[in-house]
Amino acid sequence: MLRNYVLWGALVGCFLSVAACYPGELDTVAQTDLVITFHKQDADFQANQTFAMPDSIVDVSVAAGADTTLTHAYDAQILLRVQQELEDMGYTRVVDTTVQTDVIVLVSAITVENYAYYTPGYPWYPYWGWWGGWGPYSSYGVGSNWYYPWYPVYTTNFTSGSLFITMIDPDVPPPDTSQGVGMAIWSAVINGMLEGTDPEILARINSSLSQAFLQSPYLAIQ
Amino acid sequence: MRIWTLAAAALLLPGLASAQGERSSWFGLAWSMASPTANSKEFTSDYSFRGIGLEWRQLRGRNSYGLSLGWNATNEETLETSSLPQIDLTGLQFRYINAYSILLAGHTYLGTSGKARPFLGIKAGTYYINRRVDVGLWTATDNSWHLGVAPELGFTVPLRQSYGSEAFYTAVRYNYALAAGDTPYQSWFAIDIGIATRR
């Protein structure tokens, strides 16, 4: 009888051991990298040839009046990479802010530490808050309202970062014109855990930037 | 749906009818592996070594009826781009299905007592299925209850001497959980290896 109990006890232990083994956990921070792209239905990307892009990455936390841990050390490299990707797809960057371009490309970022961010509102709203715009449109350019162009975003428990690229077409009116002119026709979100050295993080960002354009072939105009 | 219910009832009845004679109880504990098929395979394709089965049977002659509790977990790790209308998403995805079953069972046994005996069975009842996708820093899950059936075949091998009331048993079972809500039907083969005791 005792041997029976030993046998059953050993079997139960083995089965529980098997059950306790749960695979598929993260091994590296790079495995947290996520690239999401959105595009407006029926947007005519072929009608666009030129784009304008500010020379700095907007810190969403600062724009919201909050503290930030975002570094701008690699703004130039990131913006150059975005420019190169767009030029590879046939677009031409116009740096003269008095010249109206077909689209505006805005790059922003946020770092998050135990911070939940929520944004209500229309998912394809323009993000205008920091952009001075061109001369004829400058009166619309600076506003107090800005939005992520998609549904609510939540993050918790660790430092993570998100880079946002938003392409706005001023010829596409938003549902509420009091919020500005133009509407986002394409957006990319690059999200991941911010751990490792700066060069490592930059390499991951560059790789994700390439992926964002790779999975958006409809942007190509050539 | 009705066909499945009638089929399960027809197959369970012999086991239930057998309860009216001399009784002995059979209790089994099994390591349950799983091989997903169809919709389940599209979600998680890997063969799984994680699962447990608990089973109680009331024996009478060549038939039995009983209750079966089970858990099978399957998973898959994949780096891919998923597309939805207007949205494309690329990231390393960890996908999981955890399927819990509560099933009534009926079995009939071939061969002779005291030797290795094949058996055929049918189980029917409910499945609670949790499907989860971890991608990047995000998680998406859905949970659903399903009705389902599970035909199975297997055999028992009695142990010798002082373990005369114990037996090893193994079974292959096809689990079919009907669609529920937005969750399509789920199916998988379960391969059980266990030990049973008879009192």
Per-residue pLDDT in tens (0 to 9) along chain A, 222 residues: 556 666 667 767 766 666 655 666 677 878 888 999 999 888 999 999 999 999 889 888 888 888 888 888 889 999 999 999 999 999 999 998 888 899 999 999 988 764 434 343 333 333 333 333 333 333 333 333 333 344 444 433 456 788 999 998 888 877 776 666 678 899 999 988 777 788 888 899 999 999 999 999 999 997
Helix (H) or strand (E) holding A97: none
List the CATH number of the domain containing B47.
2.40.160.20
- The answer to whether residues B50 and B96 touch, using CB atoms and an 8 Å cutoff, is no
- Mutate which of A2, A8, A11, A31 to disrupt the B interface (most B C-beta within 10 Å)? A31
Smallest Cβ–Cβ distance between B88 and the set A23, A37, A41 belongs to A37
What whole-number distance in Å separates Cα of residue A124 and Cα of residue A43? Answer: 12
Phi, psi (deg, nearest 5) at residue A55:
-90, 10
Q: What percent of chain B has pLDDT over 90?
A: 66
Please determine, for residue B125, whether its predicted confidence score (pLDDT) is greater than 50.
yes
Query: Does the pLDDT of residue B149 top 90, yes or no?
Result: yes
Which residue segment(s) compose the domain that B166 sits in? 2-198
Taking the CA of residue A71 and the nearest CA in chain B, the distance in Å comes to 21
Secondary structure of residue A37 in the 3-state scheme: strand
Distance from CA of A215 to the nearest CA of B (A): 7
- Amino acid identity of residue A118, one-letter, is Y
* Structure tokens, A122: 């229309």
Checking if the pLDDT of B20 tops 70, the result is: no
Using the 8-state DSSP alphabet, how is residue A77 labeled? H
Q: Kindly state whether B179 is in contact with chain A, defined as any CB-CB distance less than 8 angstroms.
A: no
Does B136 reach chain A within 8 Å, measured CB to CB? yes
The residue of chain A nearest to residue B52, with distances taken between CA atoms, is A15
C-beta atoms surrounding A126 within 10 Å: 29
CA atoms within 13 A on the CB side of B71: 13
Partner A contacted by B138 (CB < 8 A): yes
Domains (range + CATH), chain A: 25-219 (3.30.160.670)
**Structure confidence at residue B22 (pLDDT):** 58
Q: How far is B194 from chain A (nearest CA, A)?
A: 9
Question: What pLDDT was estimated at residue A166?
Answer: 92
Residue A67 buriedness (CB in 10 A; 0-12 / 13-18 / 19+) = exposed
β-strands A183-193, B24-37 pairing: unpaired
Bridge partners (DSSP) listed for residue A189? A36, A164
Work out how many domains chain B is built from and give that number.
1
Cβ proximity of A86 and A48 under 8 Å: no
More confident residue, B162 or A188: A188
Of B52, B73, B91, the CB nearest to A33: B91
User: Where do the DSSP E strands lie in chain B?
Assistant: 24-37, 50-60, 63-84, 87-109, 117-135, 138-158, 166-177, 186-198
Please write the tens of the pLDDT for every residue from B25-54.
Answer: 999 999 999 999 999 999 999 999 999 999
Q: How many CB pairs under 8 A join A and B?
A: 80
φ, ψ for residue A28, nearest 5 deg: -135, 160
CB contact under 8 A, A14 and B31: yes
CB-based contact B137 A193, cutoff 8 Å:
yes
pTM of structure: 0.71
> Among all residues of chain B, which has the CA nearest to that of A193?
B137
Could you tell me the two tokens for A147? 């939005």
Q: What is the pLDDT of residue A180?
A: 65
The one-letter amino acid code at B31 reads W
